[in-house]
Structure 1
Amino acid sequence: MARGDRSPRGEHADRTRAALVEAALNLFSANGYDQTTTDNIAEAVGVSPRTFFRYFPTKESVLFFGEYDFIHAFSAVYLGRDETLSDYEAMAEAFAVLAPSLKRIRKRIAQYQEAVASSLVLLGRERRNHEANRETVAKVIAERRGLPSPDGECWLLASVGMLLVERALNEWLSTTRGLDDIIRQEFAALPRVVK
C-alpha cells in the first residue's frame, strides 16, 4: 500500500504513536526520565496506560523509537559514494548528505539528550546503542572494502567517524549552523590535527 493510500486506522495509529513520543520527551525533559511514569505519558496524550503499551513495550522504548533509522540510512548512502573517495571521505560525505534529514527532529534530539543525561540507566543504554551503531558502521566499511567482516582498521575508522558525528551533533544543538557543514568541518579538522 502506498503511503498516500494509508487507511484511517493506520494514520490514527501513527498520530497516537507520535503523540506518545512527543509527550514522553516533553515529560522526560521537564521532570527527568526516572521521575516520569508510563501513566504520566498516557495521561498527557489522553489515552489509557493500556493503549500506551499497545504502542511501546516499555517506557525506555519510547525514548529510543526510530533511533536506528539514521545509521541504517547511512549504510546505503555510504556504499553509494564514489569509489574514488577514501573510506574516510566517503563516511564524511555520507553523514553530511544525511544531516539535513535531522533538522525536522532537532527538538526531539535535544530532548533525547536531556533525558539520557537525567538517568544512569539511560546512560548505560546509550553506551550500548553507540556500540551497536559503531558495529553497523564497521560492517559497512568492511563491505565497501570487500572484506568478509570488519578488521581492526574498520573498527577504528567506525569509532572515529561516530565520535566526529557525535561532536557535530552536540555543536549543532547549540548553534544555528547547518549540521552538514559542521560534520564536514569536524571530518576536515581531524587530518590536520593528527599531522
Structure 2
Amino acid sequence: MVRWEPGAPERLQKAALELFATRGFEQTTTAEIAQAVGLTERTFFRHFSDKREVLFHGQQAFVQAFLDGLTAAPPEASPIEVVASALRSAAAFFPDERRPHSRARQAIIDRNPALQEREQHKLTSLATTVAEALRARGVGDLAAKLAAETGATVFGIAFTQWLREGEERSLADIAAEVLAELLELTGKAAAARGVR
C-alpha cells in the first residue's frame, strides 16, 4: 500500500505534464497519471474532473489576480489604467521560476485543437469577468468591453512572448511593453484622423 504524501494535486499535475509531453495528451489516461505518482484513479478524480483540468487547474486564482489588480487601481483611474493595474497583478501570478512549467503546458496545448479552444475560452471568460468588474466601477458598457478585451488580448500576446525560448524579461515588463505599443498605435491612428 502506498503511504500518503501531501501535495497530490501538484504531483498529479507534474506527472500529467511529463506523460502528455512524452506520450501525447490523447494517448494518456487518468489511470496512468495516477499510477505514475503511486495514487489511484479514484484519487485523481478527487482533485480533477478530467485530464484536461490538470492543465487548466488554477483558473480561479488567475482570474482573481486580475481582479485584485483591478481593485487596487485608484477610483479616478481610466479604464485602460485599471486594465494596466490588472495586467501587473496577473503577471505576478507568473513568476520567472514558473516559466518552464508554463512552457511545457503550452507546448501540450499547442498540439491539441480542443485544448487550444479551451485556452481561448479561458481568455474570453477572463474578459467577460473583467468587463463586469469595470461596469461595477461605473465604466460604461462599451468602454468596459473594449478595455476588458484589450486586457485579455494584451495578456495573451505578452504571455506568448514570455514563453519564447531565450526570453528573460518578466511577464510584467512584456505586458507593459505590449500595452504601450497598443496605446502608441491607437494614438497614431487618432492623430492620423485628426482626432484628439
Q: Any conservation in 1 of the 2:79–2:144 contact (CA below 8 Å)? A: no
Aligned to 2:75: 83
1:185 aligns with 2:177: yes
Please tell me whether residue 64 in structure 1 is matched to residue 39 in structure 2: no
Question: Take 2:49 and 2:24, find their aligned partners in 1: how far apart are those partners?
Answer: 20
Deviation at 1:83, TM superposition (A): 2.7
For these two proteins, the number of residue pairs brought into alignment is 181
Given candidates 157, 162, 172, the residue that maps to 1:172 is 162
Sequence identity (%): 32
Contact persistence 2:73–2:81 (CA under 8 A): no
Match of 1:142 among 132, 135, 138: 135
Kept in 2, the 8 Å contact 1:88–1:157? The answer is: yes
1:117 aligns with 2:110: yes
Does the Cα contact within 8 Å between 1:77 and 1:94 map onto a contact in 2? yes
**1:146 shift after superposition:** 5.5
**8 Å Cα contact 2:155-2:175 kept in structure 1:** yes
Distance 1:73 1:39 in 2: 32
Partners of 1:66 and 1:170 in 2: how far apart?
19
The runs of 4+ residues in structure 1 deviating greater than 4 Å are: none
Residues in 1 aligned to 2:139 and 2:113: alpha-carbon distance in whole angstroms:
39
Give 1:177 deviation, angstroms: 0.6
Choose from 124, 138, 142 the match for 1:152: 142
Contact 1:42 1:49 in 2 (8 A): yes
Q: Match for residue 24 of structure 2? A: 32
What RMSD, in angstroms, separates the aligned Cα atoms of the two structures?
1.9
Q: Could you give the per-residue CA deviations for residues 20-79 of structure 1, whole angstroms, max 9, x where no partner exists?
A: 011112222233211211122112111122221222221112111112212222112212
Shift of 1:173: 1.4
